[in-house]
């Protein structure tokens, strides 16, 4: 299946992508891909090192005649988001990604593809291996753990990098040059609750919300896609007002940077209410399907009877849980006043887990304005505290302030216009790029970010355009060829 990928153009990039995707590389479990990159650099006879947190740096001297050009740092992250469809049997810890070609797209079989940020990594690997491409002095920075905390970028010390210009290859629209991004903060709300005996004369149901698109909780948050956690909670809120419903378990969402696609709840109701309950759930499904018909055509809300659980939530804790999730903001919170059509601040209610006497809610709040990020974080903190949860902030990282006077931006703009006959979009993205973090220890480094077109990142629908990859590669080589002199 993956052999067809190796025949695509440019072959040097697609072959490196296939090599990379054969290596399991979940966030926080990057040992194998780190060793893969160290072996790769050593096999080329290039200066290769690993820093104290696990980032890999490989340096390549300039090609002949380019020795007097400004040194470039090329940067991408090694880890990938691991998501799969419920009916896909796949072990991310031991299997390589199974890829296939469909028209102009490379996709994965029921899982995330890893084009985010594997295409950037593959392009850098192709440059390092090439003996024919003209380029200035190159320094490749492969960071770890970008997707779940950016700890690689945060742990990179000052004074390690030698480049004066940084090209981050981690954006997902091939007509954009990004010069700014959002910062973020993780919010975790937890509380213990007393478990109660299952009421008598009850029947248990397992309710499932699935079929949602999911996707990147920053780049795609403006689309208004369905959030499985919010949809499930809305159902539980409505049903609990009409029936004697008690929650046993909830398991919704997965990663904080992915819009939740699925949620499962185990509940009990009185046997005498079962017929009316089933009718109510079916009516709710029709209502929510109608609301989201354009954006979520495959949304399903289903139920099935199941074995009675051993315990349920106490009624007071259950009410506060449902009310807290209902009140928690999800989606776009504010649009930027400075940059048209840019989401400034948002929140993703990413994870809800209720089981064995403990409830946990996880959110990722993003903003290009740090004060606005904390304003929304505090609003969510207040919401959850009113529901008697303990709230913790963690994993905060800064945004990247746009520099419209960037010299490398001017070079890239001119190259894009010459190559493709139109002006690129100069943009900031509502996602976490590592440029903002790296800029703290390297404030004088000139930075831009660009990449091929990738759709559905952070979901099993992730795909990368073949023709766009060709465009991206041509653009990257053209920039490197005309990097200014020192």
Question: Rounded to whole angstroms, how far apart are CA atoms 86 and 298?
Answer: 14
Structure token digits, residue 70 = 């400004």
Structure token digits, residue 87 = 């009916």
74, 177, 178, 413 from 476: Cα distances, Å: 10, 12, 14, 12
Cis peptide leading into 485, omega within 30 of 0? no
Cis peptide leading into 117, omega within 30 of 0? yes
Structure token digits, residue 76 = 């991408």
Among residues 30, 79, 186, 434, the one annotated as catalytic is: 79
273, 304, 332 from 203: Cα distances, Å: 9, 11, 39
For residue 478, the SS3 value is helix
190, 415, 453, 456, 481 from 145: Cα distances, Å: 24, 32, 22, 20, 31
Going across the sheet that includes 56-60, the strands are 47-50, 56-60, 138-143, 72-77, 165-168, 446-449, 176-181, 425-429
Q: Is 319 one of the annotated active-site residues of the chain?
A: no
Question: Rounded to whole angstroms, how far apart are CA atoms 262 and 208?
Answer: 7
**Eight-state DSSP code of residue 151:** H
Among residues 30, 116, 146, 434, the one annotated as catalytic is: 146
For residue 78, the SS3 value is coil
Structure token digits, residue 365 = 């709040």
Q: Is 79 one of the annotated active-site residues of the chain?
A: yes
Structure token digits, residue 249 = 């378990």
**Eight-state DSSP code of residue 315:** H
Structure token digits, residue 113 = 């593809």
CA atoms within 13 A on the CB side of 229: 33
The closest of 162, 184, 179, 166 to 60, measured between CA atoms, is 162
SS (H, E, C) 89-147: CCCCCCCCCCEEEECCEEEECCECCCHHHHHHHHHHHHHHHCCCCCCCCEEEEEECCCC
**Which residues participate in catalysis according to the annotation?**
79, 146
């Amino acid at each position: 299946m993956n052999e067809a990928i190796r025949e695509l153009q440019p072959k040097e990039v697609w072959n490196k992508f296939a090599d990379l995707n054969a290596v399991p590389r979940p966030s926080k479990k990057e040992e194998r891909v780190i060793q893969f990159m160290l072996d790769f650099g050593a096999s080329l006879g290039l200066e290769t090192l690993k820093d104290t947190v696990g980032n890999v740096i490989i340096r390549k001297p300039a090609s002949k005649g380019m020795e007097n050009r400004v040194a470039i740092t090329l940067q991408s992250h090694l880890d990938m988001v691991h998501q799969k469809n419920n009916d896909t049997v796949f072990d991310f810890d031991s299997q390589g990604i199974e890829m296939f070609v469909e028209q102009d797209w490379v996709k994965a079989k029921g899982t995330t593809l890893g084009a985010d940020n594997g295409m950037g990594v593959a392009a850098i690997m192709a440059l390092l291996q090439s003996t024919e491409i003209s380029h200035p002095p190159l320094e490749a920075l492969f960071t770890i753990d970008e997707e779940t905390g950016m700890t690689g970028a945060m742990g990179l010390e000052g004074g390690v990098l030698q480049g004066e210009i940084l090209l981050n290859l981690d954006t997902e629209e091939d007509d954009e040059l990004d010069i700014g991004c959002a910062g973020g903060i993780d919010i975790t709300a937890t509380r213990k609750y007393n478990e109660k005996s299952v009421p008598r004369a009850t029947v248990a149901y397992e309710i499932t919300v699935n079929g949602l698109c999911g996707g990147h909780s920053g780049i795609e948050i403006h689309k208004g896609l369905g959030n499985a956690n919010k949809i499930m909670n809305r159902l539980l809120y409505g049903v609990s007002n009409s029936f004697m419903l008690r929650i046993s378990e909830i398991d919704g969402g997965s990663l904080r940077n992915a819009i939740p696609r699925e949620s499962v709840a185990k509940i009990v109701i009185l046997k005498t209410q079962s017929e009316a309950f089933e009718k109510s759930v079916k009516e709710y499904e029709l209502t929510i399907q109608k609301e989201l018909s354009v954006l979520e055509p495959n949304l399903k809300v289903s139920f099935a009877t199941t074995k009675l659980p051993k315990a349920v939530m106490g009624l007071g804790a259950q009410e506060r849980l449902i009310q807290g999730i209902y009140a928690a903001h999800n989606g776009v919170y504010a649009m930027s006043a400075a940059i048209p059509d840019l989401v400034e601040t948002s929140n993703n209610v990413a994870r809800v887990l209720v089981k064995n006497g403990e409830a946990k809610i996880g959110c990722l709040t993003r903003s290009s304005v740090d004060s606005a990020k904390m304003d929304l974080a505090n609003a969510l903190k207040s919401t959850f505290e009113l529901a008697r949860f303990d709230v913790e902030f963690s994993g905060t990282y800064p945004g990247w302030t746009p520099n419209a006077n960037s010299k490398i931006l001017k070079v890239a703009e001119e190259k894009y216009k010459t190559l493709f006959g139109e002006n690129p979009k100069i943009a900031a993205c509502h996602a976490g790029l590592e440029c903002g973090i790296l800029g703290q220890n390297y404030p004088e480094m000139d930075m831009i970010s660009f990449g091929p077109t990738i759709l559905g990142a952070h979901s099993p629908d992730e795909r990368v355009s073949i023709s766009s990859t060709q465009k991206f590669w041509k653009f990257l080589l053209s920039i490197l060829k005309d990097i200014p002199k020192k």
